[in-house]
Amino acid sequence: AKFLGAKATSDILDAWSAAYDIIATIFIDLEKQLYDELGSDEHDKGFISFNIIKKEKIASGPIVSFTLERHDGGKMHSYHPGHLIQPFDDKTYRIAIKQENDHEPKGIVSNEIINNYKEGDNILATLPAGTFMLVENARCHLFIAGGIGITVLSSLIKELHKQGKSNSATLIHCVPTENHAAFAYQMRSILPRNQYHLLLQGRHLLQRLIHKTIKPDTHVYLCGSVSFMNKVEDYLAQCGHPSSHIHTEAFRPSLSLIKNAVKDQATTKSL
């Protein structure tokens, strides 16, 4: 009412109240599902203390990986490919973080971890959970990564390779320079020739490549910044590709979370 002024009729306020109740219920249900995945042990809920046992730069760009193990020696819960950057090994988790420009607020947490945490240090994190994963029995998979988004998509591609289905996967990785092309060697060794595309510039080239690559039954997996994914989703809409075949994972919250939750009761990833 404060912001709408005279336009805040009782009908509008009632509609806003109903919408707020629906959104609140969705997020309460999402949180419950995440906790259900972790079982009944209260020590596995919320933030858990982890030791950093390995820190290394990926490629020659501004991306650093951290390998973690539980400080309390507790159970390491398994996870689906797409939650972290390597297959589950029962002992450790591995994450990747991009270092941002020090003058950009969006990089405060990432830069704090990269600049001030080293091997042997302790860090708090939640256990991995979520439903961003491969679609079973899909014939074609198109992965489109924007920069650091490759850290999520690479694990899905590795899972297809493990299943002997590398031929069904195509990867488009958009980066500002080759130094930002994390996992390039791994992806080239896994994917068939001409199914790994590294794009350094040009939205028109990306658009043409999507048009050339996509098929009616292709499932598309997007990961990157919200602005990048919005652009790619526009390209896919121009192709007439069904939204049911488009799966997204952003690096900050967006309303698509609510859309997905209403549509298929998806849960969000927590890292």
Domain residue extents for the chain: 5-37, 44-125, 140-264
Q: Is the pLDDT of residue 55 over 90?
A: yes
Is 141 or 84 the better-scoring residue by pLDDT?
141
Same fold: 44-125 with 140-264? no
Q: What CATH number was assigned to the domain covering residues 140-264?
A: 3.40.50.80
Closest CA to 83 of 141, 158, 152: 152
- In which band, very low, low, confident or very high, does the pLDDT at 259 lie, cut at 50, 70 and 90? very low
Q: What is the mean pLDDT of residues 88-115?
A: 74
Q: Which residue type does 209 have?
A: L
- In which band, very low, low, confident or very high, does the pLDDT at 43 lie, cut at 50, 70 and 90? low
- In which band, very low, low, confident or very high, does the pLDDT at 75 lie, cut at 50, 70 and 90? confident
CATH architecture type of domain 44-125: Beta Barrel (2.40)
Cα gap 89→163, rounded to integer Å: 17
pTM, 2 dp: 0.69
What tokens were used for 27?
């997020």
pLDDT of residue 171: 97
Q: Is 152 within 8 Å of 249 (Cβ atoms)?
A: yes
Q: Which residue type does 9 have?
A: T
pLDDT of residue 269: 34
Q: What is the mean pLDDT of residues 236-259?
A: 73
Q: Is the pLDDT of residue 222 over 90?
A: yes
* pLDDT tens by residue, 175-206: 988 888 888 988 999 999 899 999 987 778 89
What tokens were used for 76?
């390491």
132 phi/psi in degrees, rounded to 5: -80, 100
pLDDT > 90: what percent of the chain?
31
Closest CA to 191 of 173, 205, 204: 173
3-state SS of 135-193? Answer: CCCCCEEEEEEEHHHHHHHHHHHHHHHHCCCHHHEEEEEECCCHHHCCCHHHHHHHCCC
Cα gap 33→21, rounded to integer Å: 18
* pLDDT tens by residue, 127-180: 776 667 889 889 999 999 998 888 889 989 998 998 999 999 999 999 988 888
* pLDDT tens by residue, 23-39: 777 656 655 655 565 55
Burial (0-12, 13-18, 19+ Cβ within 10 Å), 221: buried
